[in-house]
A and B are shown apart, each in its own frame.
Chain A
Amino acid sequence: MKRYTIKEISIGFVMFLILWIALALGVNKPILPSPLSVLPVFGKLIIGELGIHFLVSTIRVITAILAAVIAAVPIGLILGQMKALNRFFSPLISVLYAIPKIVLLPVVYVLFGISNFSKIFLISLIIFFQILVVVRDESAGLPEALINSVKSLGAGRLALLRFVYFPASIPAILTAVRVSIGTSLAVLFIAEQSLTEYGLGYFIIVRAYQALRYKEMYAGILAISLLGFLLYYLIDILEWKVSRHR
């Protein structure tokens, strides 16, 4: 995985601003203000109201990612090692994997109430299946020779999990999280649009869009984009750290 440098990121950001300015000039309507008028608003709000919404959304999405990893990794490792169990559950997992989890939003609200927990649960659910599948496949695909050589050093099932299967799955876990970030933020955005008073989804739709405050709305869009970008970048760094041997 290529790790982007600060220079490349800065160039990308400048290109993005140029594109935005061009589009704003071309469209020339209040719904698409220029970044030159949005950025000062963003700067002002992010150290105040918007900052709080940003923080709440960040906590929700990171908690969801961690919860999904903690739940999915052990199950994936077990399924990867137990062929019969994996064969049994595999059809079910492929059906569940394909369901767009956002449609379960009302069900989750009814079951768990309108709370932080329901939002986090829903995002976790999406990432859970992504991670489960990659961890399972990764640990099932490890070469037998490698497993045998570690067994010959005295490793039983638990030590194999600790020293071989788990570390071997880390890059795949990170890839799965990276792939899920986009969907997670989309679900977060939708889940935060109603029945809450905090979060970037709430800020963008309720506080800004519905009040026709377009500059504030774009400040919110920038904030959620920034969150996505920071998460991607964090995964990038972690991926780089764990794949130094490649």
Chain B
Amino acid sequence: MSAVFTQEKFRGGIAADDKYWEALADGEFRLCRCAQCGTWMVPAHYRCGACGSWEQVWPLVEPLGTIYSWTRTRMAFPRTEARADDVPFVTALVEVDGTDGARIFGIVVDTGTAPHIGDRVRGEIRPGTEKSFGYPTIEWQLVDAPTPAPGAGSTEGARA
């Protein structure tokens, strides 16, 4: 087991999402929201550009959503060598229910076939491993759930 994510923190991107990873480590799926106007902030940031608030809340979110896009990786790349035995593996970008269309990446549990845009998925939180550089992750599993009721979230991902 490699070091925990806080000891080998990736500096890329906006990187204001420590609470996302800390929550996953505690077994909870939480996404960032502006404390004042409620705008979902994914990826998380320090200030809400919509209302100017510097305060955020991290509500619990049900890890349920729709595949918005995906790729099936067919070779091992240098920095993800630890996943060499998993090739081919699918990474999906999932639009999370009830978040105005916020999207979160995750490995899709292998079903032997490629997924489709619009497939419904449920997330399971996994502890950090060498493959994830010690970061806890959310892993998506295809489900045969009915599409959410209108108003429960954006349906943009299901249009294809």
A and B co-occur in one complex = no
Which positions in A face B, CB cutoff 8 Å?
Answer: none
